[in-house]
Amino acid sequence: MSGIKIPEREVPVVKETDVVVVGGGLAGVAAAAAAARQGMKVTLIEKTIALGGLATMGHVCIYLPIDDGNGNKVYGGLAEDLLHVCIKYSYDNLPEVWRNKPDTAPKDSERYQTNFNIPAAVLALDEFAEEEGIDVVFDTVFSEPIMDGKTVKGIVVENKSGRTAYMAKMFIDASGDSDLLYRAGADTETLPTIVSHWFHELDFKLMKEGIEKGDMMLATPLRWLGLTPSGGAGDEKEDLTCDGTTSEGVNKYIRLSRGLALDFLKKHQSPDFCMISMPTLPQFRMTRRLIGNDELKYDAEYHIEDSIGCVIASLDKPATVYEFPYGGLITDKLTNVAAAGRMVSASGRGWAIMRFIPACVLTGEAAGTAAALAIKNGTDLQHVDVKELQAVLQKNGVKLHRTKAMEGNVPVPRKPGGPRPAISKMYVHNDPEEVRQAGSGH
């Protein structure tokens, strides 16, 4: 590729503030709210025109369990609060036993999880951000950091006003893709992702059944389409994985994902059927994550001294409970940038654990709180007093360590090639015979 030199020019500074959060997915919203609750002035930069990220614009409208499947709540704090925000103004399938946010429920209770309505969640998140005093800037893309050694002084963004800068004392990268961390010089790892296309559909037959049963989610279910790397047919003619950190990868994803949808539509075209929504963010599970000072240890070490909260493999029942270290949010390469959400430091299966919505919100809350404490105490993120951080998180409802009751959870093993044990009704259509797919799942 050839290069071209762009003349240097001055960029107007729009704002100088305490904390800037890049990315308004649920992790970014949690990070911004947590910092604002500590009295910080917070600006959140979001490239789309809505909050929620994959959970709203990406159509992943299933808030997976925040309990361990044995009646113990694992995620409190904002991970629990945002679940309730998402269902504030529309339907849900939250089991009644969890409605009032108890810490425990009978062992055989249904899981503490819910589907939610996307537009209602977007509107409730707008309201939440306003109530929390977060300055949200939509339709604005972070493009590059302004560096001073290992410190990010500001970021350059691009929007309809052109190129401008936001300066801040602390930054949180909640872009899902480590855009800020990577461009500021942190070590990262990239993983290609498989292709999905989730959308809502309307089918007269199901709609009739939904109306008869008074069940809105049954009337307008989610349809999952997905591709395995081999297209489900075992032929490897085309590599069907995509790298979400390059323009080529994103465009390949969009082509394949919409191709799946078109194949499906051609088969189902009928006066009784239509698609009623379409994801407006590519549904990348994993893209680029931070290689931080520490990472999730999901095999042996259970008690983590600097834990910022418990996490679970949300789809397992009962779910093993792990503890996530503060060091998984930060890197010694940068003094004032923390990671939040699906790009925190966790490798292998750990990455799959940390990308579920509740874990993303938890790390958002911890990153926002840590950034605020660093500012208050005049330190960098490496010297945040972890005991103080833990005390604030715990006061706000976060479960830092496994309780006795959470120990020894061993998931029911999955039969080879068989489905996972069902965890709850998800109002999802996923017919393996229909399209070249093999159950893309969550």
Ligand X SMILES: Cc1cc2nc3c(=O)[nH]c(=O)nc-3n(C[C@H](O)[C@H](O)[C@H](O)COP(=O)(O)OP(=O)(O)OC[C@H]3O[C@@H](n4cnc5c(N)ncnc54)[C@H](O)[C@@H]3O)c2cc1C
Q: Give the footprint of ligand X on this chain (CB under 6 A).
A: 22-28, 45-48, 53-55, 60, 62-64, 141-142, 174-177, 179, 196, 198, 281, 283-285, 341-342, 355-357, 360, 442
Residue recorded with tokens 């972070």: 142
Q: Which is nearer to ligand X, 342 or 399 (CB)?
A: 342
Q: Which is nearer to ligand X, 280 or 377 (CB)?
A: 280
Q: Which is nearer to ligand X, 24 or 207 (CB)?
A: 24
User: In whole angstroms, how close is the CB of 78 to ligand X at the nearest point?
Assistant: 12
Q: Which is nearer to ligand X, 207 or 356 (CB)?
A: 356
SS (H, E, C) 175-187: CCCCHHHHHHCCC
User: In whole angstroms, how close is the CB of 12 to ligand X at the nearest point?
Assistant: 18
d(CA 29, CA 25): 6
Q: Phi, psi (5° rounding) for residue 169?
A: -80, -35
User: In whole angstroms, how close is the CB of 143 to ligand X at the nearest point?
Assistant: 7
Paired sense of beta strands 195-203 and 222-227, if any: antiparallel
User: In whole angstroms, how close is the CB of 58 to ligand X at the nearest point?
Assistant: 6
d(CA 420, CA 409): 16
Angle between helices 77-86 and 357-377 (to 10 degrees): 130
State CA 200 to chain mean position distance: 20
How many residues are there in the chain?
442
Q: Which is nearer to ligand X, 283 or 336 (CB)?
A: 283
User: In whole angstroms, how close is the CB of 333 to ligand X at the nearest point?
Assistant: 19
Q: What is the DSSP string of 128-173?
A: HHHHTT-EEE-S-EEEEEEEETTEEEEEEEEETTEEEEEEEEEEEE
Q: Which is nearer to ligand X, 28 or 207 (CB)?
A: 28
User: In whole angstroms, how close is the CB of 351 to ligand X at the nearest point?
Assistant: 10
Segment holding 299, helix H or strand E: none
